[in-house]
Amino acid sequence: MQRFLLICSVLLSGLFFAQNRLNLIPYPQKVELLKGEFTIPGKFKLDQNLSRLETEYFKKQIRDVFTFGIGKKETAHLVNVPFSAPSKRNPENEEKYAIEISPRQIIISSNTKQGYFLALQTLIQLFRQYKDSGKIPAMKIEDEPKFAWRGMHLDVSRHFFTVEEVKQYIDYLAIYKLNTFHWHLTDDQGWRIEIKKYPKLTQIGSKRKESMIGAYVDNTFDGKPYGPYFYTQDQIRDVVKYAQDRHITVVPEIEMPGHALAALSAYPELACTKGPFEPATKWGVFDDVFCPKEETFTFLENVLNEVMQLFPSQYIHIGGDECPKTRWKECARCQELIKKYNLKDEHGLQSYFIQRIEKYVNSKGRKIIGWDEILEGGLAPNAAVMSWTGIKGGVEAAKSGHFAVMTPGAYCYFDHYQGDPATEPNAFGGFTPLDKVYSYQPVPEELNVTQSKYILGVQANLWTEYILDFKQVQYMIFPRMLALSEVAWGTSDAKNYKEFERRVINEFETLDKMSVHYARSIYNINGKVMAADNGIAYELSTSQSPSGVRYTVNGADPSAASPAYTNPIPVQKSMTIKSAYFENRQLKSAISSQDFTVSKTTGKKITLEQQPNENYSFGGAFTLVDGIIGNQRQLGKTWLGFQGKDVVATIDFGQLTPFSEVYFNTLDNKGSWIHFAKSAHVFVSDNGTDFRMIKEIGKDEILVAKGKIRLQLGNQKAKYLKIKIENAGIIPPGNPGADSQAWLFVDEIGVN
């Protein structure tokens, strides 16, 4: 073990430091404030025995605090003091460190350079925090991360980012003590890594003729050629070395067997059909995938040979997600393989494919990790799972003795909206604000102590279908990455979210100095619909002083003279509520606007027989009677999404209620596996038990209405209303995601 000793002469001061939590992110496991302060010196003299790379990084990061070199007697000295090391190093403690700050010195203790580097990150934050006062409170910090895998993902296939931008991304990980960079290098829309044995991968696969723009449902394109964009092998080595210097592991992803159009465009002989193919210009999932024939395995093994030479990571990510089976079902070779190896079906063939690849990767001393679809048909013996569709994949993996990284879309997909979609840039969908990320606990409750040890950690993913440049990358990851870092470190606590929010706002000064274009959604007004005696009420909240919130109910923009918000606003008729935060009579936030369409179901008690997918479950069943009609171009917080499930909702009016019309909306977005409902049935009851059907419509009527359904029922009177909206079921051939369960999206169920 080594101790890195920072010794300096200091002046004692009587300044009292309140026992508020320090502005550190992620917060350490243990902080004990002591008496006295350490005076920040003006100049440091560095001992030559210090770990060079880490110390040079330290110097660069805090050069705005003080200078380095040979100083006078009041100069601080950073020296390496030997400390007796244990005979056998414990791998679990490689990132453990301690800092002791007294009025006379600062001592860093760690087993490894990695621990030393993490300690320096904490010191850098402390120096910046107390730079103006010139004094740091005396304290003891004992710290180590809870999870070994603390990751961030970046998709460079849909949109490409330069080497310098990728390095900036890695810098962000280092600052906030994340240690894994998942680099998504290949997909349908682009192949971004040079493979010398197969030059056409980048000659053909690294460019596309145009790109989809705007919302997916618009189906519009920019008409501009994109690419060729890719990283040379020298550039890859440069990035990997850059990350290693910051104690970050780069995990490459080479997609297979699906998401392969860019590769098949270059080498069509690897498909089940003859092609021709071209890199995808749309987002989504496509039927043409790698065919599991010998030529394909030879190709992929050769590709992986070059990949493993470039990336020293223990794990190689092989994708494995969203692989339609349409081509395999129609392929004579695939059907012969199923018979030859006595496989159950095409899902078994996918397992065969993954296991072939795993054996090869294992033979090179490496391991594979893949998205949770690699569980289909049986998991390869040594594979790890990245659980993205929810927590089920991670639970299944851990219970069977396989390692898992938790990255569920509901909490860890940073391509989702983080604020009101009306005030945010176009995003993929979903609603994942800062507080939701912070609330995530990576170890599922279903696991016992032994099984929990198989949860390697947590990761957030940034897919870039709608992210055009690096400024938008920054916008989507900050400040949510700060919440992820604390979740990954194991010191997050949803009950203390407001205290974390305070630290985030303080950290904005550092992000400003780094010229980071971060989201300011935290300043905006958050609205929440709640049930009230006479229907619903709209509750407003903000990270700032609530006394600064102003609102209107007539659709006009609020001003400093508008009514001050004090209590939830009653919503008893259709209206538009606008709100904003003012400070010293100056507008300090975006203006939030919410339209309400009140009907006889608004605010009424509602139950669902089946719950929505956690990725699209904001507000639960109440979302369907909250008076808010969803925007068909934005899959934000106003929609509920169900995969493979029908929507069966029962609404209790509370008394016999006359009505003549029921309305609801459903969506069609086949590229994302979202299909219009197959049918809809309306039932009524006076006792909540015995229901009779009064209306049904089929798919043709839903198609004609383009998902905006209004059902005329004649004169009705009932206490209970039940509506069954039928999922489209299994996606038919010829559609993205064929043979998979369709998604059904539904918003407000209204009654007039």
- Tens of pLDDT along 190-211? 999 999 999 999 999 999 999 9
pLDDT one-digit tens code per residue, 127-181: 888 888 888 999 999 999 999 999 999 999 999 999 999 999 999 999 999 999 9
**Could you check whether the bond before residue 268 is cis, i.e. omega within 30 degrees of 0?**
no
Q: What is the average pLDDT across 409-430? A: 89
* Tokens encoding 659: 């009505």
Q: Is 628 a residue whose pLDDT tops 90?
A: yes
Q: pLDDT-based confidence at 735, cuts 50/70/90?
A: confident
Main-chain phi, psi angles of 139, to 5 degrees: -165, 165
Q: Is 552 a residue whose pLDDT tops 90?
A: yes
Q: Is 278 a residue whose pLDDT tops 80?
A: yes
- Please report, to the nearest 10 degrees, the dihedral formed by the alpha carbons of residues 231, 235, 238, 244 taken in order: 10
Main-chain phi, psi angles of 515, to 5 degrees: 60, 40
Q: What is the C-alpha end-to-end distance of the chain, expressed in Å?
A: 74
Instruction: Identify the pLDDT of residue 63.
Output: 77
- CB neighbour burial string for 518-556, b if at least 16 within 10 angstroms, e if fewer: bbbbbbbbbbebeebeebbbbebebbbeeebbbbbbeee
Q: Is 80 a residue whose pLDDT tops 50?
A: no
**d(Cα 248, Cα 485) in Å, to the nearest integer?**
14
Helical spans, DSSP H, in 637-698:
none
Fold of 2-143: Chitobiase; domain 2 (3.30.379)
Residue type, 35: K
Just give the CATH number of 605-751: 2.60.120.260
Q: pLDDT-based confidence at 377, cuts 50/70/90?
A: confident
Q: Delimit the domains of the chain by residue range.
A: 2-143, 149-521, 525-589, 605-751
CB of 646 closer than 8 Å to CB of 441:
no
Task: Return the active site residues.
Answer: 187, 259, 322
CB of 138 closer than 8 Å to CB of 36:
yes
* Tokens encoding 351: 């397992």
Instruction: Identify the pLDDT of residue 83.
Output: 35
CB of 47 closer than 8 Å to CB of 108:
no
Instruction: Identify the pLDDT of residue 672.
Output: 79
Q: pLDDT-based confidence at 15, cuts 50/70/90?
A: very low
CB of 49 closer than 8 Å to CB of 78:
no
Main-chain phi, psi angles of 64, to 5 degrees: -80, -10
Residue closest to 10 by CA, chosen among 30, 32, 38: 38
Residue closest to 535 by CA, chosen among 631, 622, 661, 664: 622
Q: What is the average pLDDT across 674-700? A: 95
**Could you check whether the bond before residue 276 is cis, i.e. omega within 30 degrees of 0?**
yes
Domain 2-143 matches domain 605-751 at the CATH topology level: no
Mean pLDDT, the chain, rounded, equals 90
Q: Is 614 exposed, middle or buried (0-12, 13-18, 19+ CB in 10 A)?
A: middle
pLDDT one-digit tens code per residue, 218-234: 889 999 999 999 999 99
- Please report, to the nearest 10 degrees, the dihedral formed by the alpha carbons of residues 376, 377, 378, 381 taken in order: -90
How far is residue 538 from each of residues 85, 551, 712, 722, measured CA to CA in Å? Answer: 60, 11, 30, 26
**d(Cα 120, Cα 4) in Å, to the nearest integer?**
10
Residue 297: how many CB atoms within 10 A of its CB? 16
Task: Say yes or no: domain 149-521 is CATH 3.20.20.80.
Answer: yes
Residue 534: which residues within 8 A CB-CB, separation 6 or more?
570, 572, 603
Instruction: Identify the pLDDT of residue 190.
Output: 98
32-36, 335-339, 426-430, 711-715: least confidently modelled range: 426-430
Q: Is 76 a residue whose pLDDT tops 60?
A: no
Report which of residues 322 and 151 the model is more confident about. 151
Q: pLDDT-based confidence at 18, cuts 50/70/90?
A: very low
- Cα–Cα–Cα angle for 602, 605, 610, nearest 5°? 110
Residue 509: which residues within 8 A CB-CB, separation 6 or more?
none
> Could you tell me what percent of the chain has a pLDDT over 70?
92
Q: Is 388 a residue whose pLDDT tops 50?
A: yes
Instruction: Identify the pLDDT of residue 43.
Output: 67
Q: pLDDT-based confidence at 556, cuts 50/70/90?
A: very high
Q: pLDDT-based confidence at 71, cuts 50/70/90?
A: very low
Residue 690: how many CB atoms within 10 A of its CB? 10
